[in-house]
Chains A and B, each alone.
Chain A
Amino acid sequence: MDNANVTRRDFIYVASAAAAGVGLAASLWPFIDQMNPAADTLALKEVEFDLTPVIPGQIVTIEWQKKPVFIRRRTPEEVKAAEDAPLGDLIDPQADKDRVQKPEWLILVATCTHLGCVPSKEMKGEFGGWLCPCHGSHYDTSGRIRKGPAPKNLEVPPYQFLSDTKVLIGAAPKAGAAAEHHG
């Protein structure tokens, strides 16, 4: 008779402790969740950019969701270098065609995937893309990590070409946008 010592009072103790535990956990949640991005921060979803002034070879930095975004008008040589890089050489293998909608326009979140610095536009690194000044990560002309401590390629944000000269950063790409590249 193991249960001889278990009384109805024990049940009440366990039940009230469990209810208090759940209540405490539930009341903690607002204090934790208040630190997540607020509604006005989340509302900064899309930003439109006019591509007309960007000349071939130029990189411009714009702001989207408080993050810097690179818009790079790649030269044919840069496109070729990105397309020709053997996938086997890559730390985070991804084909260039999967990172662009139009080969000429490379659009990337300009946040180093190591510790969040903005890779330098002036120092292009060993692969002609970007060099992060903080801890020496080298990115190629597709924004893929080639050397250094960063674990991943520069992120491609969602974007949509509104016309040949206008791009909307933050919007889901139009269906079939990638097909344009595949020809």
Chain B
Amino acid sequence: MNESDGAAAESGRARAAATDRLLARVIREESARIVAALTGWLGSLDLAEESVAEAIEEAVRQWRTAGVPPNPGGWLTQAARHNALDRLRREKRYREKLALLADPAEAAPRAGTNEPDERLPLLFGCCHPALSPDAQLALTLRAICGLTTAQIARATLAPESTVAQRIVRAKRKIGAAGIPLRIPEGSERAARLGVVLTVVSVMYSEAHLVAGADAAADRDLADDALWLARVIAHELPREAEAQGLLALLLFHRAREGARAVDGELVLLADQDRARWDRRLIAEAQAVLETAAMLRRPGRWQLHAAIAACHSDARDGGDTDWLQVLTLYDMLLAYDRSPIVRLNRTVALAEVDGPEAALDEVDALRPALTGYHLWHAVRARMLRHVGRRDEAMAEDLRALELTANDAERRLLEARVDR
């Protein structure tokens, strides 16, 4: 391939990527509202979601070449309604339902009204604790964010048939087990919102964990997660943790440009902070302040506060580690997971020295011995206390355990040094 072919291919790719982004933006704005409206009309989430998913696949195919029509929501609603009626006519078990349906015009999402957002009840149903975490994520990606099954499979590196089966089973369970599509009230609200926010956070990290892949997916799950965090925070303005998660994802998103440079990972301490997106950081700080004013602290707000400390520092050396460690100690009251404790050891090493941190890292061995970053953190502590050979062995072990290409190259560079 000569140089100009290369450039042409490059610009072709750039155009396609822009179109993928545009499709993602347009479709996820519409998907959940149409699924919710159709579910109300048909009385079946399974049928409604299937009909919308089919319409979205058709839209992705057509719009990728022909462009997005002027009223994409109307286009999708009409196509989904058509698909639903088609299915009802074909399938015996649905046929008697057909006569009972109201005017299909009823099955249009209400846009621009002051009605409470119908997407949130659907989201709480998709993230019901009676569904497995994998199913919660897959169903949320499809029904709420409007990803096709193939896009979910590529973005999460799961076989397409597995994803499809997960979604079908989850939808059938919602119908058969009577899982309500409703925002829980009262004492149930906090725990259920916790599940929803966890799904969004997993969605964000999934974008970075895709093993072996270098961004082959045509949907950026991190962008979808940030969008969804915004929807939730906007619809539930009194829920401090919803604001907390949005702030956290904004802080992370702001570092994105410095975190990966030319496809290579850069650790937080080494990142060029001039590449951080100051506009996103300012937004994150504002959202975190809003959360704090609600006076209901929680794990996502603390995670965000830790991220804020890093954003405040001019460079790695300027970080207020005592503040970071204090926040981690507060976080332990909400989240004692081994990963949080491991991340805390990095702050502990800065405040109390590497020996104290190494003891804590070693205490986590049983829980994290299969996790590559435990070995990477332990290597770093060992190097600080001068146990270089052991540090090298841990780096090699980390390398063996990582499945992500970019992380592998980062660790290789460390072993080579």
A, B in one complex: no
- Report A's interface with B, CB cutoff 8 A: none
Q: B residues engaging A (CB < 8 A)?
A: none
